Amino acid sequence: MKNWKDLDADVRRALLRGEPAADPEIDRIAREHAEKALGRSIIRRVIVVFPIALVTGALLGFFAAKCGLPSWAPGSILFAVGSAIAVVESRRKLAHIRILNVSSGTPRAQTRTEWTAARAAESLEIRSTASGVLRTTAPWLALAGGVLVLAVLSSIPWLIVPVAVFAVTVVTYVALLLWFTLPGNEQILDADGIFMPKYGLRVPWKAIREIRLLPLRATARDKRQVVAFLFHDKQDYLRQLPRWQAVLADLNTKTYLSPLVIIEGVTDRPVEEIAARAGALSGLVVTAVACGD
């Protein structure tokens, strides 16, 4: 086996789901495929997609004229299809990030934790900010709003319903993230572990086996990172959360290996500081996965 296409279809699907490769050679092939996919230029994709979109738009315009549809209907349909493709591409990108995060061959380096003994003993309070949440989710909010407006203008029932469901899902998720910015939802790192006052929940350091800095998107354009606290048994943590929050938290596990993650740009502290302080307080090794070049 020399490349991704040589792998069995079931193996490829398992790797994209985030399952680690059992064979070092398969791990190497999967990692090289993910790095290549994430490193592809957006400009090249636009060059390929643009003429296809023009031809498709012209065909839609022709059939719209024949069927007596409004002049803006083809554009609305094309935009909706393009949005669906963007969502699919985003999911595929996350799948490739999963491959890199679980790969045993992905280069990792221990991060610098230059803290004095007095500094390491200090607790660290981490808060999510509304501005950070809105900045991070702005592309999805813009996409949801855009497709919803076009769907309503098109007056096509079969288009309005799925687009409305998508828009409501996005807005609900953003609202939940904003809820976490309210007072009482802070996380506190101290010598005993991670404390969440709102739920009276404490995660002791002994429940965590590793602290890892992972790329959020793993591309040269997006250097944001995620602090992931890898558990010995994640269920011990999830059982302490409200049911709905446990379900949402566990969604992080597929891509970022843990239900307990802190995303760069959402909180009021740099992720490097959070990871370094957590490593100093816990005595655990902090490793970082290189982002795409």
pLDDT, one tens digit per residue, over 213-253 is 888 765 556 678 889 999 999 998 998 888 888 888 888 88
pLDDT score, position 5? 79
Top-confidence range, 47-51, 150-154, 284-288: 284-288
Mean pLDDT, rounded, of the chain: 78
pLDDT score, position 116? 41
Tens of pLDDT, residues 87-142:
777 778 778 777 777 776 555 545 544 444 434 557 889 998 999 899 888 888 88
Q: Would you state the structure tokens that stand for residue 255, as one six-digit string?
A: 């891509």
pLDDT score, position 218? 54
Please name which of 229, 193, 220 lies closest in space to residue 43, comparing C-alpha atoms. 220
Half-sphere exposure of 8 (CA within 13 A, CB side): 4
pLDDT score, position 229? 94
Dihedral angle over CA of 247, 219, 135, 264, nearest 10? 60
Is the per-residue pLDDT at 38 higher than 90?
Answer: no
Amino acid at 89: E
Q: Model confidence at 189, in pLDDT bands (50, 70, 90)?
A: very high
Residue 191: C-alpha distances to residues 32, 88, 280 (Å): 40, 42, 9
**Residue 288, beta-bridge partner list:** 109, 213
Amino acid at 112: R
Tens of pLDDT, residues 63-72:
666 776 666 6
**Cβ neighbourhood burial of 129 (10 Å; 0-12, 13-18, 19+):** middle
Dihedral angle over CA of 198, 200, 201, 204, nearest 10? 130
pTM: 0.66
